[in-house]
């Protein structure tokens, strides 16, 4: 199951490095690190490049944790090379998302604003509670490190999307508060509130390993899918 050779786009980022470290512990086969030219210096025993297309023979699948624009470039290269991709990057606008959906007609593409099994399992409970407690007011709080570029987080938007879908309500009616604190990997709090009680679903990521695990696992899974648009839920449904 761990046979697919992996290229990481955004290799020298926080997530790129977390994924690479975990891949060594668990014997996943990362064969190419892609990042901006000025970052390509290291003594790692691994091929580095600023261009995925330079070494198509080296990888079977791409993991992307970069930025929306570089990710779209990587997707375009995957289309040209006919390779699958699993994407953890967040902050896409609706036009950019549309490009991803369009690309998935040619290649297998998985998009997950949160790659942790914990958050994705919690989303199922959130969906259920949103329906059962349809009269409760719901709100979301997220806290991340100060270098995070997008706000609200992709995960908070995903939680809001799940609530809106379950309640058949408007996404923009759901209140999201964002906080930025030094060193915080990621906290998401979903609050269901009535005049008489309150339910809080709380997820706190202690480190980036949980996201790295999801990225590596979905990279192997997406390698075995036919072209199409997939989410972490599709992966979870398939393996459980």
Ligand X SMILES: NC(=O)c1ccc[n+]([C@@H]2O[C@H](COP(=O)([O-])OP(=O)(O)OC[C@H]3O[C@@H](n4cnc5c(N)ncnc54)[C@H](O)[C@@H]3O)[C@@H](O)[C@H]2O)c1
Catalytic residues: 144, 148
Q: Give the Cα separation of 201 and 107 in Å (integer).
A: 35
Q: Which one of residues 90, 122, 219, 223 is an interface residue with ligand X (CB under 6 A)?
A: 90
Q: Can residue 115 be called a binding residue for ligand X (CB under 6 A)?
A: yes
What does DSSP assign to residue 144? Answer: E
Is residue 112 at the binding interface for ligand X, with CB under 6 A as the rule? yes
- Rounded to an integer, what distance in angstroms lies between the CA atom of residue 207 and that of residue 26? 17
**Residue 218 contacts residue 111 (beta carbons within 8 Å):** no
Asked if 13 touches ligand X (CB under 6 A), the answer is yes
Kindly indicate which of the ranges 29-37, 75-83, 174-182, 189-197 contains the residues binding ligand X, using the contact rule CB under 6 A: 29-37
Q: Which of 124, 131 has the CB closer to ligand X? A: 124
Closest separation between CB of residue 19 and ligand X, Å?
9
Nearest residue (CB) to ligand X, 4 versus 33:
33
Comparing CB distances to ligand X, the nearer of 66 and 220 is 66
The angle subtended at Cα 155 by Cα 226 and Cα 15, nearest 5°, is 75
Cβ neighbours around 172 below 10 Å, total: 8
Number of residues that bind ligand X (CB under 6 A): 26
Instruction: Report d(CA 100, CA 92) in Å as an integer.
Output: 10
The answer to the question of residue 211 lying near ligand X (CB under 6 A) is yes
Instruction: Identify the CA nearest to 230 among candidates 108, 77, 100.
Output: 108
Is residue 118 at the binding interface for ligand X, with CB under 6 A as the rule? Answer: no
Question: Residue 147 phi/psi, 5° resolution?
Answer: -90, -5
Residue of the chain from 19, 34, 140, 163 that contacts ligand X (CB under 6 A):
34
Among the listed ranges 84-92, 134-142, 160-168, 170-178, the one in contact with ligand X (CB under 6 A) is 84-92
Measured between alpha carbons, how far is residue 203 from residues 73, 81, 127, 141 in Å?
Answer: 32, 38, 15, 11
Q: Which residues bind ligand X (CB under 6 A)?
A: 9-10, 12-16, 34-36, 39, 65-67, 70, 88-91, 112-115, 150, 154, 211
């Amino acid at each position: 199951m761990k046979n697919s050779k992996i290229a990481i786009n955004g290799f020298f980022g926080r997530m790129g490095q977390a994924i690479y470290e975990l891949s060594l512990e668990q014997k996943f086969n990362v064969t190419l690190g892609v990042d901006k030219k000025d970052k390509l210096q290291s003594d790692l025993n691994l091929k580095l490049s600023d261009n995925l297309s330079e070494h198509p023979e080296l990888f079977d699948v791409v993991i992307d944790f970069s930025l929306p624009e570089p990710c779209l470039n990587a997707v375009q290269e995957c289309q040209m090379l006919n390779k699958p991709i699993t994407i953890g990057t967040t902050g896409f606008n609706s036009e950019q998302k549309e490009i991803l959906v369009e690309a998935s007609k040619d290649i297998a593409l998985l998009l997950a604003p949160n790659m942790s099994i914990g958050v994705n399992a919690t989303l199922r409970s959130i969906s259920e509670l949103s329906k059962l407690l349809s009269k409760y007011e719901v709100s979301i709080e997220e806290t991340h490190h100060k270098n995070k570029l997008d706000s609200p987080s992709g995960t908070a938007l995903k939680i809001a999307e799940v609530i809106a879908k379950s309640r058949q309500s408007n996404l923009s009616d759901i209140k999201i508060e964002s906080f930025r604190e030094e060193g915080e990997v990621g906290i998401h709090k979903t609050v269901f509130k009535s005049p008489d009680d309150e339910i809080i679903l709380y997820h706190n990521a202690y480190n980036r390993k949980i996201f790295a695990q999801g990225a590596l696992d979905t990279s192997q899974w997406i390698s075995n899918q036919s072209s199409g648009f997939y989410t972490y839920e599709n992966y979870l449904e398939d393996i459980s």
